Structure 1
Amino acid sequence: MNILSDIKVLDSLLALNLTITLWSARRKMTLSDFGNAELPPEDLASLGSKRIADPDSLKIFSTLKARAFNYLDRHGVRFMSGWAIPEDKAGDVITELISIRDNFFREKEAFLADYDQSIENWINKHTKWAGIIRESTVGSEYVRSRFSFAWQLYRVAPLTEHRERNAVLESGLQEEVEGLAGTLFREISASADEIWKNVYMGRDSVTHKALSPLRTLQNKLAGLTFIEPHVAPVAQLIQTGINAVPPKGNITGKDLLMLQGIVSMLRDPLLMLEHSQKVIAGQHPRFVLEQACSASETIMPEGENTEEYPVAMPEIPELDPVVEPVASANIPSLGLW
């Protein structure tokens, strides 16, 4: 049997390819724009571009594109030319994309309705260069064609039969699927690094809003547990830590230090795998967190070298007994090393 037929993870995911195009409002500079002045040869320097519309009027489209990409990054993992998303979340994902797309098209129509006047306003703002702007303007129908927002949602299935065996073996799908877990852990690591810098680094107190980005990572992992066995334990470790935080008041002291320890773990893909493996080997998530944030460890915010932060885990309200650890198996690389 061909190895590609054993890629069971494909049964639980859908692939989504999102294509958003924007009008740049830029045109290439020409020699005539400089009054035919002598310029360096093309192998030495090239002409730049000129803006023919106010860039501020186009910012909303970049914002909406970023919102769509960020949403998919929060709920899926990069895969092939787009994202792999859990099939059971496809409805919610498409609903959100429809909302963003509809907003995108409303802004597009509003921009086009005011297009001619906005070009005139831009020219009047740069009267000295009015000639080179006006000579490069384009019609609103051309601009309309440059804006698009579309996606394709499809199921990926391995190619199991073909007259040329190499067409199956060299399709690249096996490598794409095998790389999903490594991609996921690297994405979590990159997000955790941003969370550390923007929320936790150097702080001695945070509000409950600091839990929101951790919940986002937990939800992403929880939705993609079918990718690889080490994913679910990491999600469980994050949830265990979140559950340990008191429901009201600023987060300080040992509670904050515990969260800093969790974020530090998430910043390191290999550390995530190490602690995940402990849970797989039989240790209770509470016990693993206590190890990860033990009093013998310190969390040193970047740029601060004079103060130590001993970590003491808060009591975690769980009734399940801690399972005695068992010998762990070798941790797979998941493409991380």
Structure 2
Amino acid sequence: MSHETQIILDRVVLVKVDANIYGARKKLKKEDLVLADGSKLPPEDLASLGSKRLLDPDKLTVFNRLKKEAERICLRVGTRFLGGFAVPVESAASITAELERIGLDFAAAKTEFIAGYDAAVTDWVVRHPEFAGIIEQAVDSVEFVSTRLSFDFLVVSVGLPDSLAPADVARLESKIGSLSEQMFYEISVEANQLIEQSLLGKEQVTRNALRPIRRMRDKLDGLGFLDHRVAPVVSTIDDLLARIPNKGAIEGGLLQEILATAMLLSDPDKTRRHGEGLLATQLPVIDDETEEVIEYAKSEPPAVLVVPTAPTPVITESAADSPDFTDLFDGIFDDELEAETVTTSDDWALDILLEKCQTDLKTGNDTDESNPSEHSAEPATVTAGDDEEADDSDQDYWF
């Protein structure tokens, strides 16, 4: 088993939710039907008769609701895995507490349902008197129904036995490797719901619209160890949330940024490419500049490396002093690598993000120029040729 796989297994627990709900249905038989003269039922290999309800399905709604609530609680911080949910170890205690509460609610609902089971069946027969016979002959006993209503959960760690065959190890590693893909998919589902239900066509929204974004942010942050591209996406969301006013309606440019953020999160591929693009502009750039300084020092006499007494325009515009977002999101909002393939909706979102990016760049440059002592402490490592090449790059994108 690879080191990366072991790290993931050490940081998650598997939560299995076991909720059994009585269906109150029985298979419909031919003798249950009263056919008109000359009518004929299709053979069983062509069509099945379906099922018949034994009581009002609304009586069972509470159990289905509790089961879905338990799943939502697990999905809030975890992702589907091996028939359960992979949840960060640090979240296991809070998840367990909430599932225990649901277990108590389920037990109380079961007690109430069992107490009123006979009355519910009788009421169903009264509502369908012409079919009373086929209902009554299929009714289950209250003891049997009680065994078909249960809620429980299990929290376990996942590991591999020492003697496991290589093929089985590879199979588990494949499942673990798909965890990040499942996580991004679940985020996209929630983001699409946010867009459809709360953002599209709105000129302003309340702060309630931020709740889904915060949930998605917290889920990504908690499961960030599944994919190295998650951390930059979380930072992008944090930057947006930090600029939201503490009260009042959200409208204008901020609302458009929220919509653009949700649109990005609604596409798993673009979310991954966004995080990868941000990472590509961080550590690799610093390493390249370090190597350039070393080569320059070796090839030039020491006198050339004397720091000037005042900062020059070249220094203030260097990549080390002013963050350069060139090519940051190149290719993220279009499925093809050519600019002309960007759709109208992508252009709209990019225009919003570009305007914010240009404002940040202007602010950043002004800040750099106001502190010349910081520039004069470092050698000039970027040549005029480097600046020209950066100017010819594709349009910057901010998110």
1:166 aligns with 2:209: no
The residue number in structure 2 matching 1:183 is 182
* Mapped partners of 2:194, 2:110: distance in 1: 33
2:194–2:262 CA contact under 8 A, matched in 1: yes
Q: How far apart are the structure 1 equivalents of 2:356 and 2:226?
A: 30
Asked if the contact 1:160–1:168 (Cα under 8 Å) also holds between the matched residues in 2, the reply is no
Paired with 2:324 and 2:242, the residues of 1 have a C-alpha distance of 14
The answer to whether residue 199 in structure 2 is matched with residue 200 in structure 1 is yes
- String of CA shifts for 1:229-286, please: whole Å, max 9, x gaps: 11222222112211111111111000101101111110112221222123323559x9
Deviations 1:9-32 (A, max 9, x none): 111110111111111111111122
Alignment of 1:321-332 (within 5 A): none
Give the TM-score normalised by the residue count of structure 2: 0.70
Of 98, 119, 130, 1:96 maps to 98
Secondary structure of 2:52 counterpart: strand
Matches within 5 A, 1:83-162: 83-162=85-164
Give the superposition deviation at 1:308: 9.2
Within 2, Cα distance between the matches of 1:62 and 1:272?
Answer: 33
Q: Which residue of 2 aligns with 1:244?
A: 243
SS of 1:7's partner is helix
2:68 maps to a residue whose letter is: A
- Is the Cα contact below 8 Å between 1:5 and 1:158 reproduced in 2? no
Select between 10-19 and 84-93 the one with higher mean Cα deviation: 10-19
Contact map agreement 2:70 2:102 (CA 8 A) in 1:
yes
* Structure-2 residue corresponding to 1:327: none
More displaced 10-residue stretch of structure 1: 7-16 or 206-215: 7-16
Q: How many angstroms does 1:40 deviate by?
A: 2.3
| Residue identity in the other structure for 1:166 | P
| Partner residue, 1:274 | 273
1:310 CA displacement: 4.8
**Higher relative contact order structure (alpha carbons within 8 Å, sequence separation ≥ 6):** 1
1:184 Cα deviation (Å)? 0.9
Specify the SS of the correspondent of 1:198. helix
- From the superposition, tell whether residues 240 and 298 of structure 1 become closer, same or farther in structure 2 (CA, over 3 Å): farther
Contact 1:261/1:299, CA 8 A, preserved across alignment: no
Instruction: Show CA shifts across 1:206-241 (max 9, x none).
Output: 110000000110111111112121122222211221
Please state whether the residue corresponding to 2:135 is helix, strand or coil. helix
Partner of 1:219: 218
**Aligned 8 A contact 1:255 1:313 in 2:** no
Go from structure 1 to structure 2 and tell me whether the alpha carbon gap of 1:124 and 1:8 turns closer, same or farther (over 3 Å shift): same
Q: Which amino acid aligns with 2:118?
A: D
Partner of 2:82: 80
Structure 1 residues 43 and 240 mapped into 2: Cα distance closer, same or farther (>3 Å)? same
**1:75-119 Cα shifts (integer Å, max 9, x gaps):** 101111211000001000011111111111110110000111111
Please report how far the alpha carbon of residue 287 of structure 1 lies from its aligned counterpart in structure 2 after TM superposition: 8.6
Q: How far apart are 1:6 and its partner, in Å?
A: 5.3
CA distance 1:299–1:213, change in 2 (3 Å): farther
For residues 273 and 167 of structure 1, do their structure 2 counterparts lie closer, same or farther at Cα, with a shift above 3 Å needed? Answer: closer
The one-letter amino acid paired with 1:114 is G
Other structure's SS at 1:247 match? coil
Residue pair 2:5, 2:176 contacting (<8 A) in 1 also = no
Asked if 2 retains the 8 angstrom alpha-carbon contact of 1:77 and 1:180, the reply is yes
Mapped to 2, the partners of 1:75 and 1:262 lie a distance apart of: 20
Contact kept? 1:7, 1:174, Cα under 8 Å: no
Q: What is the deviation of 1:35?
A: 4.5
Quote how far apart the aligned CAs of 1:158 are: 2.8
Question: After superposition, what is the alpha-carbon deviation per residue over 1:184-220, rounded to whole angstroms, capped at 9, x for unaligned?
Answer: 1111112111111111112111110000000110111
Q: Which residue of 2 aligns with 1:27?
A: 26
The equivalent residue for 1:313 is 356
Q: Tell me how far apart the structure 2 counterparts of residues 265 and 147 of structure 1 sit (CA, whole Å).
A: 42
Deviation, structure 1 residue 43? 1.9
* Identical-pair percentage: 31
What is the alpha-carbon distance in structure 2 between the residues aligned to residue 117 and residue 32 of structure 1? 26
* Paired residue type of 1:115: Y
Which residue is equivalent to 1:335? none
CA 1:5 to 1:195, structure 2 compared with 1: closer, same or farther past 3 Å? closer
Aligned residue-pair number: 311
Per the alignment, in what secondary structure is the counterpart of residue 19 of structure 1? strand
Give CA deviations for 1:110-168 in whole Å, capped at 9, x if unaligned: 00001111111111111111111111111111111111211221111133435xx4355
2:257 counterpart residue number: 258
Per-residue deviation, 1:63: 0.9
Amino acid in structure 1 at the alignment position of 2:212: P
Larger fraction in helix: 2
For 2:394, the equivalent position in structure 1 comes to none
Question: Structure 1 residues 129 and 275, CA, compared in 2 at 3 Å: closer, same or farther?
Answer: same
Q: 1:168 to 1:308 in 2, by over 3 A?
A: closer
Gaps of at least 5 residues in structure 1 are 302-306, 324-337
